[in-house]
């Protein structure tokens, strides 16, 4: 057929990282039917939704089955009750949000992938290694991509450098996926000041903020003065409230941000109204419930559960004297592959010799080569078993 395609897709790797991993697991399982595989790969939660969340979900679903309380299309930007809940949640960090700056979404991944729609052909700066959606979505749009490199030298927390061009878009993720490293207040301030002084915009992914337990680290970029003029924040209920299967998140685009004489909040409104029909009423009620005092408490109990796993895993790396980051204010542990193995080589080695699945660091960028990520999202029992298997191999 003589229909032209978006040729930028030729610049992508054949499979999305987690699809490639699933493909390899499926193949391994076919060849090794008895293998008892423990998955510490994709950051998918294993604990069920909390009672407060489920009660709200059921109540709202019942409302949808009643003539008096039935609702049709939700507002494209989210119900006011949900935006109010997000606004109230941010007060915990002393951040005052304008209701109009909050957009409820079906998860951070969609908004991170779609936000490119509202920008032109800017220089894009992406941490290396990082969550692959930033790179892939910018490649699909044919953007000019540059990397800000993380390494053992900067503990995988790159800071601004003078070669970053003015008028750029810079992606940041803290606590970082995949490395689990977090920017402290003064470090994040360096990025905000850099963006303000260099006419640049930060897209800040805070999907893992609820794993922060130390007050050395900001939960939101808006805790840093000036950030409302230069940063978009994108967050998710996936890890915070176990919504990986339910789908809800939010994006904050402050009214203060003006690019090329356009309020970008307005552009996103226009984009969403055209391409998005909002998040379903029951899901927004469930997400609202996750942000009540009871909801937060129950969600934090689940996070504490996962952090016990993170501790089990990080203690193994301490014991073996292996360099790692994360595992303290993050569900991810990022470590150096043993014997200078390459990331995918170690993936295959671990799968074959321990039946444990992780994520190869190289899948998050070239600077992830030789590193590996494991998650704390499995059960205590499976994590304990994985630690025993890893202990024999490392
Ligand atoms: C991950 O494992 O990096 C995440 O679960 C992926 C995601 O949040 O989309």
For the chain, domain boundaries: 13-49+295-393, 51-292
**Which residues, in sequence order, are CB contacts of 271 under 8 Å at separation 6+?**
114, 117, 118
Helix (H) or strand (E) holding 102: strand 102-105
The CATH architecture one would assign to domain 13-49+295-393 is Alpha-Beta Complex (3.90)
Structure confidence by residue, pLDDT tens digits, 360-389:
999 999 999 999 999 999 999 999 999 999
CA-to-CA distance for 37 and 348, rounded, in angstroms? 13
Q: Is the pLDDT reported for residue 184 higher than 90?
A: yes
Residues contacting 338, CB < 8 A, separation 6+: 322, 346, 393, 394
DSSP string, 211-257: G--STTS-SSGGGSTTGGGTEEEEEESTTTS--TTT--EEEE--TT-
What is the C-alpha to C-alpha distance for residues 302 and 325, in angstroms, rounded to an integer? 22
Q: 343: helix, coil or strand?
A: helix
Q: What is the pLDDT of residue 290?
A: 98
Cα separations in angstroms, 178 against 45, 65, 84, 101, 331: 16, 42, 31, 28, 9
| Cα(193) to centroid(ligand 1), Å | 29
From CA 306, how far away is CA 380, in angstroms rounded? 8
Rounded average pLDDT over 166-174: 98
What's the confidence (pLDDT) of residue 87?
98
- Whether residue 14 is predicted with pLDDT greater than 90 in this model: the reply is no
Phi, psi angles (nearest 5°) of residue 280 = -60, 150
Contact 212, 183 (CB under 8 A): no
Pair 370, 222: CB distance under 8 Å: no
DSSP string, 344-391: HHHHHHHHHHH-EE-EEGGGG-GGGTTEEEEES-S-HHHHHHHHHHHH
Looking at the chain, the whole-number percentage of residues with pLDDT higher than 70 is 100
pLDDT at residue 315, as a whole number: 97
Atom of ligand 1 nearest to the CA of 178: 3
> Residue 102: what pLDDT?
98
Atom 4 (ligand 1) nearest CA: 43
Tokens 């321990």 sit on residue: 354
Over the chain, what is the mean pLDDT? 97
How far away, in angstroms, is 27 Cα from ligand 1 center? 22
pLDDT at 45 over 90: yes
* Residue in 212, 121, 214, 232 with CA at minimum distance from that of residue 172: 232
Atom of ligand 1 nearest to the CA of 17: 3
Pocket test for ligand 1, best of 19, 39, 131 (most atoms within 8 A of CB): 131
Fold of 51-292: 3.40.640
* 152 CA from centroid of ligand 1 (Å): 23
Choice from 205, 238, 241 to test ligand 1 binding pocket (greatest atom count within 8 A of CB)? 238
Helix spans in 71-207 (H): 80-91, 108-114, 132-140, 185-197
Ligand 1 centroid – CA 42 distance (Å): 6
Give 99-140 pLDDT, tens digit per residue. 999 999 999 999 999 999 999 999 999 999 999 999 999 999
pLDDT in tens, 61-88: 999 999 999 999 999 999 999 999 999 9
Phi-psi region of 261 (alpha: psi -120 to 50; beta: other; left: phi over 0): left
Residue 15 has pLDDT above 90, yes or no: no
Q: How far is the CA of 177 from the centre of ligand 1 (A)?
A: 8
Taking residue 176's Cβ as centre, other Cβ atoms within 10 Å add up to 27
Instruction: Name the CA dihedral angle for 196, 125, 94, 286, rounded to a multiple of 10 degrees.
Output: 140
Which tokens go with 132?
């692959």
Mean pLDDT of 243-257: 98
Residue 321 per-residue DSSP state: T
pLDDT tens track for 278-321: 999 999 999 999 999 999 999 999 999 999 999 999 999 999 99
Within the chain, residue ranges assigned H as helices are 17-31, 51-64, 80-91, 108-114, 132-140, 185-197, 264-275, 281-290, 293-320, 343-354, 380-393
Tell me the β-bridge partners of 145.
Answer: 124
Q: What is the pLDDT, as a whole number, of residue 24?
A: 93
């Amino acid at each position: 057929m003589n229909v032209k395609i978006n040729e930028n897709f030729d610049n992508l790797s054949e499979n999305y990282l987690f699809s490639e991993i699933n493909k390899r697991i499926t193949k391994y399982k076919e060849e090794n039917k008895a293998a008892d595989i423990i998955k510490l790969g994709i950051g998918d939660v294993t604990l069920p939704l909390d009672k407060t969340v489920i009660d709200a979900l059921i109540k709202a679903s019942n409302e949808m089955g009643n003539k008096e309380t039935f609702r049709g299309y939700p507002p494209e930007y989210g119900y006011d009750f949900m935006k109010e809940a997000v606004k109230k949640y941010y007060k915990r960090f002393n951040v005052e949000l304008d209701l109009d700056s909050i957009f409820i979404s079906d998860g951070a991944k969609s908004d991170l992938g779609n936000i490119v729609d509202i920008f032109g052909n800017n220089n894009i700066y992406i941490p290396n290694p990082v969550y692959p959606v930033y790179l892939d979505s910018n490649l699909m749009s044919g953007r000019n991509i540059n990397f800000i490199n993380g390494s053992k030298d900067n503990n995988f927390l790159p800071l601004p450098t003078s070669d970053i061009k003015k008028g750029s878009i810079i992606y940041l993720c803290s606590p970082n996926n995949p490395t689990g490293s977090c920017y402290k207040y003064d470090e994040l301030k360096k990025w905000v000041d850099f963006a303000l002084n260099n006419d640049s915009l930060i897209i800040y992914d805070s999907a893992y903020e609820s794993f922060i337990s130390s007050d050395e680290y900001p939960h939101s970029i808006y805790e840093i003065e000036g950030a409302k003029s230069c940063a978009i924040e994108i967050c998710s209920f996936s890890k915070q409230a176990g919504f990986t299967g339910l789908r809800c998140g939010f994006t904050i685009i402050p009214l203060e941000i003006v690019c090329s004489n356009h309020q970008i909040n307005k552009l996103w409104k226009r984009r969403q109204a055209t391409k998005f029909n909002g998040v379903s009423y029951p899901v927004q009620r469930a997400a609202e419930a996750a942000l009540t005092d009871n909801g937060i408490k129950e969600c934090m109990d689940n996070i504490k559960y996962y952090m016990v796993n993170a501790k089990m895993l990080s203690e193994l790396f301490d014991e073996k004297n292996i360099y790692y980051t994360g595992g303290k204010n993050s569900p991810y542990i990022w470590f150096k592959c043993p014997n200078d193995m390459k990331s995918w080589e170690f993936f295959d080695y671990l799968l074959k010799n321990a039946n444990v699945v992780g994520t190869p660091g190289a899948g998050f960028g070239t600077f992830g080569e030789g590193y590996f990520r494991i998650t704390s999202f499995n059960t205590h029992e499976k994590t304990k078993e994985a630690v025993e298997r890893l202990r024999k191999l490392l």
